[in-house]
Amino acid sequence: MNILNIAWKDLQLFVKDRGRLITAFLLPLVFILAFGYAYSNFTTESTRLVSLPIVDLDGGRMAQSLLEMLTPDRGVEPKLYKETEAQPLLAEHKIDRVLTIPAGFSQAVAAGEPVTLRLVNHPEANESDTVAVVTVLGGLSSDLSLQTQLISAFERMGQMMFGVPAGAEAFSTDVIITQARGQFERAKTAPLIDVEKKTPETILAQRADEPNAMEIAVPGMAVLFLFLSAGATGLAIYSEKKLGTFRRLLTAPLRRSEMLSGKLLAAVLVVLLQTVVIFAVGAWLMPLLGMDRIALRNLPALAVVSLLVALCSTSLGVFLAAVCRTEGQISGMASAVLWIAGAVAGAFIPQFLLGNVLGAIGKVTPQYWAISAYSDVIVRGEALTGIGPQMGILALFTAAFFAIGVWRFKFDA
């Protein structure tokens, strides 16, 4: 009962602390909005060339025309591969995608028959790059279709007018223009060349989707701010020492373990409440603001990850309160170490862009594994069995923080 009394008192103190409310709820939302917007834009603002490996099984005139039209000013960098070379490279993710020009492509296009270009993407290929390639190919195919159909139409008209005396032509200029317009519309609505975007089934099973901007921003920012709460937990414990309320509680009929447990319960509840608010915003509020929506695909797994993150953050708070001697040290640790740890863990830069060095540094932080676990659950809909390593490492961090924190803990200032 005393645990609940202390937890309830701490929740009352939390509600009265405007600064903490802003840090816990408002700041994460502002950061999610800002970074979500940035993530949704940074790829379209890029001017780099997108690599486009091509396997040409046709080798005909139309295929050659298509290859010639894939110039750097369209934002792509074509490179020819043999089919036997390209498949293993794609499987090992040494290339992101392969465009295959099928055998008979030129003949089919010349005959005015529909034909499909096949674009196979690796599941971890950058989605924005894929969209850019499909857009470019779509435009080129449309141009090529139009060009082919116009040439074909003019050839038929030429054959019909062969041998007709001057002044007795069956088609005036107006008729030719009308014919050309009709072919243009037809090429748009029923192109001869279609682009089929595909992901290999075997690899598709490993990853159902690519993250959208919110699915990158929300886990990162959630973890950043959930772990920043460790600083607030540490300060709340220090405050009890400074005020002398711990001393007073020590003279009351309750155990020390009840005192600490009550404080930890309140801290865990606050972090869980933060989690609910942040993910609810990502799932329901952000779409209303025109942003992407995060898919809450596996709620039980999400709940378990959130509970472990809350325990880890709270244990870190106990650790900070135990090892720091002053209020300034706790604030300093919270504002410097936790922000930096969050940054190298992938809170600001998506983990897949961290690179080898930052990625390796990030792995020594609990935040890295928390972001990774959240991403796997949200983006890939992973069950708990699929995020076992991340959960295990987070549990180890939690146990270590708690053990050191309790071992070094002093109730008196």
Site residues (vs other proteins, CB under 8 A)? 2, 5-6, 9, 12-13, 16-17, 243-245, 247-255
Q: How far is CA 11 from the centre of its chain?
A: 34
With 0-12 / 13-18 / 19 or more C-beta atoms within 10 angstroms meaning exposed / middle / buried, residue 72 is: exposed
For the chain, the residue count is 413
Q: Could you tell me which residues are beta bridge partners of residue 54?
A: 80, 99
Q: How far is the CB of 317 from other proteins (least distance, A)?
A: 18
Q: How far is the CB of 276 from other proteins (least distance, A)?
A: 24
As given in the structure block, the two tokens for residue 228 are 């920043």
Query: How far is Cα 319 from Cα 323, in angstroms, rounded to an integer?
Result: 6
* Residue that is written with structure tokens 């803990």 in the block: 409
Q: For other proteins, give the closer residue by CB, 12 or 71.
A: 12
Query: How far is Cα 155 from Cα 362, in angstroms, rounded to an integer?
Result: 65
Q: How far is the CB of 329 from other proteins (least distance, A)?
A: 21
Q: For other proteins, give the closer residue by CB, 55 or 270.
A: 270
Q: How far is the CB of 245 from other proteins (least distance, A)?
A: 5
Q: How far is CA 38 from the centre of its chain?
A: 12
Q: For other proteins, give the closer residue by CB, 245 or 335.
A: 245
Q: Could you tell me which residues are beta bridge partners of residue 56?
A: 101
Whether residue 52 contacts residue 99, with contact meaning beta carbons closer than 8 Å, is answered with yes
Whether residue 221 contacts residue 35, with contact meaning beta carbons closer than 8 Å, is answered with yes
Q: For other proteins, give the closer residue by CB, 151 or 250.
A: 250
Q: How far is the CB of 9 from other proteins (least distance, A)?
A: 5
Q: Residue 22, Cβ neighbours under 10 Å: how many?
A: 11
As given in the structure block, the two tokens for residue 255 are 């155990």
Query: How far is Cα 345 from Cα 341, in angstroms, rounded to an integer?
Result: 6
Q: For other proteins, give the closer residue by CB, 61 or 255.
A: 255
Q: For other proteins, give the closer residue by CB, 9 or 363.
A: 9
Q: For other proteins, give the closer residue by CB, 9 or 297.
A: 9
Q: How far is the CB of 364 from other proteins (least distance, A)?
A: 37
Q: How far is the CB of 250 from other proteins (least distance, A)?
A: 5
- Which is nearest to 122 in space by CA: 102, 159, 96, 146? 96
